[in-house]
Amino acid sequence: MTSATAADYGWIRSSSSLFGYALDAGYTLTLVRGVSPDELLDVVEAEARGVCEGFDELTEQHMAVLDAYEDWPESFLAGAFTVRGEGGDWTLALEFGGDVGTRPRFMEALSAGTRAVSHSSNGGKPMHFFHWYENGELRTTFELPKARTGSTPDELNAVMSEVGLNPAGDQAPDVDGKAAVFALAERLTGVRVTEALLAEAEYRTGEVAEEPAEEWESITIDLTDAHGEGTYVQLRRDQL
């Protein structure tokens, strides 16, 4: 296991850092051991889009996918490449505004017989997630380090503390939580993500369809009167 800490990932906040775009637009970064980029794109049902030479070209192709839709985009671009890590080759997949690394069915399939780790941000809103899967099982996941779930929610507590996260309470104000999550991912994968790595990689790309909206039959509205008495109204789809 590496000795990475949040200090090793201070570059993501640099004013000149290319990762600033990912933080602004929202991103998901996924690492899977022993699965090739083409295999990963196949598992996530991506439509092949060829190769992007470097981070700048990946962002350009991402914008081209968005521009193809008049209203809300129905898909997003995922780029993947091979990188060395603990135990052999890993695939690093990166998306802007995508959610490959947060969809359980994808992560369960990708991690079958191996390990998969992802972290993400939805851009403007302060929502940041971390997921660790092992052999198809979600072992530890959190938005806030102190609110962990999964089959082994406390297994990473010691490592989380070492990288700068606080599994017992509020995050220390002098530690960049996002940088610490990068370090936690490195501890689990052996993959050191650097600005040069992302800038110079050859990304195999594919277009991934957005998840369809869930069907719903009714909504429930809670009501409270002036005396504090509560009731509710349930409305069917055909009543709205």
pLDDT grade for 191, boundaries at 50, 70 and 90: very high
Is residue 238 scored above 60 in pLDDT?
Answer: no
Of the candidates 130, 133, 153, the one whose C-alpha atom is nearest the C-alpha of residue 143 is 130
Q: What residue spans define the domains of the chain? A: 6-215
pTM: 0.86
Q: Tens digit of pLDDT for each residue in 37-73?
A: 999 999 999 999 999 999 999 999 999 988 888 776 7
Region of 60 please: left (phi>0), alpha (psi -120 to 50) or beta.
alpha
Q: Give CA–CA dist 137/44, Å, rounded.
A: 17
Q: Give CA–CA dist 44/5, Å, rounded.
A: 31
Q: Give CA–CA dist 197/193, Å, rounded.
A: 6
Q: Tens digit of pLDDT for each residue in 105-134?
A: 999 999 999 999 999 998 777 789 999 999
